[in-house]
Chains A and B, each alone.
Chain A
């Protein structure tokens, strides 16, 4: 019975001579070090790629708004090109081009194996040149100058202008300007812009609100008409009230239009004449100018102030010029609102599902099947969710909501088309597996001793879950929600089908009842990147915007995640604590 060894015998065993002493030094393969190095190396490469990518985005994004000097380049043909140098590269000129060159230039190219250098200049003045960018080959360049009097004018139309400000006209009086620093220009510009923003406010907001109320009257009337018919007492009563109200609103509308017209009139009298380097002139309203600066004559503090004001414009303004200029405020807002709404939808749904699967369902084949299906859902291409969201949420669900609650607006869809709510729900569907898996894991990590302690106190299963299991699992659940949020905020493909648009005139939240408009389509930073980078007139013009917007999107996701992580760590400290 005894498995114990006799001590003497054991000693004898150990000292017994063996014919071939076993080798003691361990083989390097046995220690597995090369394997460890390979793993570490792979990790290193992965990290480097990610860090490199982030650095590139950061560097390009941060540099975009720095005011750059304007070079005036004279080329062999006597042609003059003025613009910001954006990048320089090597290319292979065609043989005909090379043949036409001077001996020395040919030699340089031959020395470089047929490659020549060229620089891309952002030349602006699209209205004159019909192009934004121009390549200048190094062998063509005769002379590069940086004249101090050249200015860059950012306009609300036609992109930037590069050249000189000739004169301004205020109410018919022409004032010739000899310096870009002339205070009379600054003063006129400030006045015109102030009026311009007033016009914007009137036309966009005040008239918008009046229009909205007129429309409300029409819809109320239409609702009554659908319900009681045209000949009913209620209809004629409502119609009378609505007509009176509409007439009042109409006069308000006219008053506002007049006001805007008056301001416009005053601004029309204030123009500025610009001259490009080739001598062609153009006269535009002063209020069309966003900002001007002498690009080659800036002090550091002026540069910083231009840099910051461009950032501010980017963050707080609406886009203009097919999204390649101006700001992205609606997109920031849309991304944030959609992500928030998605979290509100996905968190309870995912947690409840996981609770049922883990705590209540009998662990059998069916549950295993459900679990596998949920995990596989995470692998479905996101565009499929988009199709589903459009088909089910927007057309079926939204269509029925329209039939039931908004019949007066038909055939114009209210909820029956893509919108903020459907986007959030589609993404919630897309990310719910993440939450379920994380929650299940968190629930199963709650120590058995805690549950038993609670049950032994006479708590029911639900009380145990409510008081003990859920609080304890909350940090893990939060992790799942954070992951879902990160995934959802960066998703674009399905949104293109269920509610994201290139340009949304109205934010989903505004001052008009019911204040939050879940049915509205919205802008999204991810889609904005796609649109600006690949759908605009000139992708080169949009490139800086792509980087800044990417930086912003990464920053937004980063901030949302960090806040969620801070909350999670608080919870962890509170509920998990240290067991002695």
Chain B
């Protein structure tokens, strides 16, 4: 299929908002195939440290695929092929012999559907520490309080930490998953449509949370909700059919999109 000339995007024309802390994650010319079907085409995208970067685009355009490349979650899939470069603080994530587990420990991930483990709330939050073999009780307790406070859940669950996490509501479960993701003190927080299963109030809480977490963490968030992207993100990347169409400062992009496709999408004319 021939790509429309209007949607060609010049990789040199990034007008990203500068976090002032440099680039944490540098994606260069990333191509990805599921078997023979190509899902990503030459994605080049530097992600600024300490900012929120939103990934938007119509369903099936490869947002999740790109996000899951960052912590190598796609490794589980048979027949996956990747070319290109992805560097975390200059280290090639896909280098031969790279330590995947160590890489994942530097990232936190929040999934579309809350996926608390069938254990107590306490055990859920400290899971990243548990797998590191941390036994120090004081440290664990301190981590739980910090992470749950960070995820705006502490007040709701502080009296029932030993109860099963499966007894929480959907929104609470999602915030618990966020607490779990930040408990290991990650450098980058990856969120794949974290609010899609939640009601507006729970969504608002999570958005507040993202605003609170910004600065401490670099956040990459996939969303289908334009308002949400506008509200929480500093930079936005628009993807279409596996290509990065436009990437830049959220405000600029939403007001003066450079391509017609982006304009149509952000104004809700297609999707």
Contact = CB atoms under 8 A, between A and B. Distances in A.
B4 interface: no
Interface stretch (A57-65, A450-458, A488-496): A450-458
A578 B166 contact: yes
Contact of A452 (B111, B166, B180): B111
Interface string A409-453: 000000000000000000000000000000000000001011111
B118 A458 contact: no
Interface stretch (A192-200, A385-393, A464-472, A543-551): A464-472
A458 B131 contact: yes
Interface string B86-123: 00000000000000011011011101011111100000
Interface stretch (B52-60, B169-177, B230-238): B169-177
Interface string A456-485: 111110010001100110000000000000
A450 B166 CA distance: 13
A579 B173 CA distance: 10
B127 A456 contact: no
Given A456-B73, A460-B101, A577 B166 contact: yes
B260 interface: no
A449 B113 contact: yes
Contacts of A452: 73, 76, 109, 111, 115
Contact of B169 (A451, A463, A580): A580
Nearest to A577: B166
Most buried by A among B109, B116, B128, B131: B131
A459 B166 contact: no
B184 interface: yes
Given A449-B111, A463-B131, A580-B169, A457 B118 contact: no
B166 A457 contact: no
Contacts of B262: none
A453 B101 contact: no
B132 A453 contact: no
B164 A458 contact: no
Interface string B107-150: 11101011111100000000110111000000000000000000
B71 interface: yes
A575 interface: yes
Contact of A471 (B104, B118, B181): B118
Contacts of B132: 458
B111 A453 contact: yes
A455 B104 contact: yes
Contacts of A576: 118
A458 B117 contact: no
B98 to A, nearest CB: 14
Contact of B118 (A449, A451, A455, A472): A472
Interface in B54-84: 71, 73, 76, 78
A458 B107 CA distance: 8
B101 A458 contact: yes
Interface in A550-580: 574-580
Nearest to A453: B115
Contacts of B102: 458
Contacts of B169: 580
Given A467-B130, A574-B164, A578-B166, A455 B73 contact: yes
B111 A575 contact: no
A455 B73 CA distance: 8
A457 B131 contact: yes
B129 to A, nearest CB: 9
Contact of A449 (B71, B105, B115, B181): B115
Contacts of B78: 363
A578 B164 CA distance: 11
A458 B76 contact: no
B108 to A, nearest CB: 7
Nearest to A580: B170
A456 B170 contact: no
A579 B117 contact: no
Given A449-B113, A453-B115, A577-B167, A458 B173 contact: no
Contacts of A472: 118
A454 B76 contact: no
A458 B131 CA distance: 7
B118 A575 contact: yes
Contact of A458 (B104, B166, B177): B104
Contacts of A449: 111, 113, 115
Which among A449, A456, A467, A580 has the highest number of chain B CB atoms within 10 Å?
A456
Contacts of B118: 468, 471-472, 574-577
A456 B71 contact: yes
Contacts of A363: 78
A450 B164 CA distance: 15
A468 B111 contact: no
Contacts of A580: 114, 168-170, 173
Contacts of B168: 580
Given A463-B131, A467-B130, A577-B164, A458 B184 contact: yes
B104 A456 contact: yes
A457 B115 contact: no
Contact of A460 (B127, B131, B166, B167): B131
A358 to B, nearest CB: 14
Contacts of B127: 454, 457, 459, 467
A239 B101 CA distance: 65
A463 B109 CA distance: 18
Nearest to A466: B131
Given A455-B73, A455-B76, A456-B104, A450 B117 contact: yes
Interface string B165-206: 011111001000100110010000000000000000000000
A216 B71 CA distance: 66
A42 B244 CA distance: 60
Contacts of A454: 117, 127, 131
Contacts of B113: 449
Contacts of B180: 453, 457
Determine which residue in A452, A457, A579, A580 has the highest number of CB atoms from chain B within 10 A of its CB, and name it.
A457
A459 to B, nearest CB: 4
A450 B102 CA distance: 19
B131 A447 contact: no
Contact of B108 (A456, A463, A471, A578): A456
Nearest to A573: B164
A458 B115 contact: no
A467 B117 contact: yes
A366 B105 CA distance: 35
B104 A453 contact: no
16 contacts: A447-B115, A452-B111, A454-B131, A456-B71, A456-B108, A457-B127, A457-B131, A457-B180, A458-B101, A458-B102, A458-B104, A460-B131, A467-B130, A575-B118, A577-B166, A580-B114
Nearest 10 CB-CB pairings of A with B: A577-B166, A458-B105, A456-B109, A449-B115, A453-B115, A459-B131, A575-B118, A457-B128, A580-B170, A458-B104
Given A457-B131, A459-B101, A575-B118, 9 more contacts: A449-B115, A454-B127, A456-B111, A458-B184, A463-B131, A467-B127, A472-B118, A578-B166, A580-B168
